[in-house]
Amino acid sequence: MNESIRTWTRVVGLELVVLLANADGVTGSPSLWAMGRVPLNVAVRPTWTIANTGSDTITLGQPHVQINEGCCPGALTYQGSGTLAPGESTGLTFELSMHFGMDGAHDMIVHVPVQHADGTTAVLDLTVTGDFRD
């Protein structure tokens, strides 16, 4: 990874790594939400901006979560249209809230299916990590 493109921003007590995920003319920013320590019983909502940087219209499918560590993914919600013309973007929010018994490290990849106008497909991968505990 090119360290010169890594930027750290402090957001409501969470560390946010600003990098772009890329899948065939579609970008997701940031590629990684590294939330660090998160208190139990507090809802956090990592949000990504997904942009069509290609030259054809794309349709975003229903995202699904791969759990590498931890449990219990929350709701994934697009904040706009799932069909994007070139140059358009939309938001994707992932709500997480852990309680006692769900505490500890969490590492999840959100897979966003992308279908291009010509029928080809791609998958945009976005990552979220956190250590949920009091």
Q: Assess contact for 33 and 128: CB atoms under 8 A.
A: yes
Domain chopping of the chain, boundaries: 3-23+35-132
Please state whether the peptide bond connecting residue 30 to the residue before it is cis, i.e. omega within 30 degrees of 0.
Answer: yes
Q: Is-above-0.85 flag for pTM?
A: no
| CA gap 62, 59 in Å, rounded | 10
**For 77-124, what is each residue's pLDDT tens digit?**
999 999 999 999 999 999 888 999 999 999 999 999 999 999 999 999
**For 64-73, what is each residue's pLDDT tens digit?**
999 999 987 7
| CA distances to 34, 46, 64, 107, 121 from 128, in Å | 6, 8, 13, 6, 23
Domain 3-23+35-132, CATH class in plain words: mainly beta
